[in-house]
Amino acid sequence: MQNFRDILYVSHGISEETEPLKQALNLASHNQAKVNALIVCPAFPPAMQIYQEQYEISLKQRLEKLIQNTKQELTNAAGELVVNITVESGEAPADRVIRYVLRNAFDLVIKQAEQQENSKGFKAIDMELLRKCPCPVWLCRPSAHSVNETCVAVAIDPENQMPAARDLSLRLLMLSRSLADKFNSQLTVISCWDYEFEGYLHHSALTQITEEEIKNIVMNTQHHHRLELDELIRQSGITGRLQVHHIRGRAEEMIPQYVENQNIDILVMGTLARTGIAGFFIGNTAENIVQKLNCSLVALKPNGFVSPVKAY
């Protein structure tokens, strides 16, 4: 998959997290990239510190065995990869991951999504990574389809004309195309549009606009939005099997609904943030979308994002 050369696989070391590990090894093999593993675990209380080292050794040995077994299942050159394993223990596991990313300049984090009771949304650790991690984050869930039938979709907002937002949209399209190609699958582009004043115009006694005029305004809004979307796709230069779904409605409602109804396996989307300063506020729309998703998520931040977490 495009441009990833230093991949970090994150684990708690206590469960069979094979799906993200397979993705990390496959991706590293395909890109001739390096892959490292980081185990984050709690620190033992002071009275039990004598057991901490042995516990960390056991976690490392467990992951080493899982890596070897996973390599044997893969048919590519992943078996030749050397995976270095580091263990970090203590509080704030998400911050520990982010500091490790910053100190070692990883360009992708792959991790199994924390298990939710309703299989939708993401728990605190994953949300912290989405909010603060400087590089793309891939949160994996089991796929509904086989590897060669994996459904990949990307969510695009063509209306934001800020340079950082346009650049992010182009990166999303190129990354999702590359990801779909990895699975030999079609790429689905999802974009939502609406005209929020339509209800007001229909019911306001203060306006004298006709139903035909309202209809034309709505149609022009749809047409303009689709032109902007098509132009973004053209500028991205992506080719191959492509399907565009131009959906009317609020993105935070329509995108999770579409993902669930169509059994999308992986959604690629961006998180809009303030850039160039230390601090990140995930966009309200993005936050509302990810909290309703039941699929894997690959999330990108705009260029220039500065994590509030420091390397040291």
The structural domains of the chain, with segments of one domain joined by +, span 1-112, 145-312
Judge residue 306's burial from the number of C-beta atoms within 10 Å of its C-beta, 0-12 exposed, 13-18 middle, 19 or more buried. Answer: middle
pLDDT of residue 216: 87
Q: What is the pLDDT of residue 184?
A: 87
Q: Do domains 1-112 and 145-312 have the same CATH topology?
A: yes
pLDDT of residue 280: 41
Mean pLDDT of 196-221: 75
Cβ proximity of 109 and 129 under 8 Å: yes
Whether 94 has a pLDDT exceeding 90, the answer reads yes
Has residue 273 got a pLDDT over 60? no
Q: How far are the Cα atoms of 88, 113, 307 from residue 92, in angstroms, in the given order?
A: 11, 17, 15
- Averaged pLDDT, 279-302: 83
Instruction: Tell me whether strands 84-89 and 6-11 are parallel, antiparallel or unpaired.
Output: unpaired
- Reported confidence tier of residue 114, pLDDT bands at 50, 70, 90: very high
- CATH no. for 145-312: 3.40.50.12370
Least confident of 60-69, 72-81, 218-227, 257-266: 72-81
Q: What is the pLDDT of residue 15?
A: 80
Which range has the top average pLDDT, 94-103, 144-153, 216-225?
94-103
Give the confidence band of 276 by pLDDT, cuts at 50, 70, 90. Answer: very low
Which range has the worst mean pLDDT, 88-92, 142-146, 199-203, 221-225? Answer: 199-203
Q: What count of residues does the chain have?
A: 312
CA atoms of 164 and 160, how far apart (whole Å) = 9
Which has the minimum average pLDDT: 75-79, 108-112, 155-159? 75-79
Percent of the chain past pLDDT 70, that is, above it, reads 92
Which pTM value belongs to this model? 0.91
pLDDT of residue 206: 56
Average pLDDT, the chain: 88
CATH number of the structural domain 1-112: 3.40.50.620
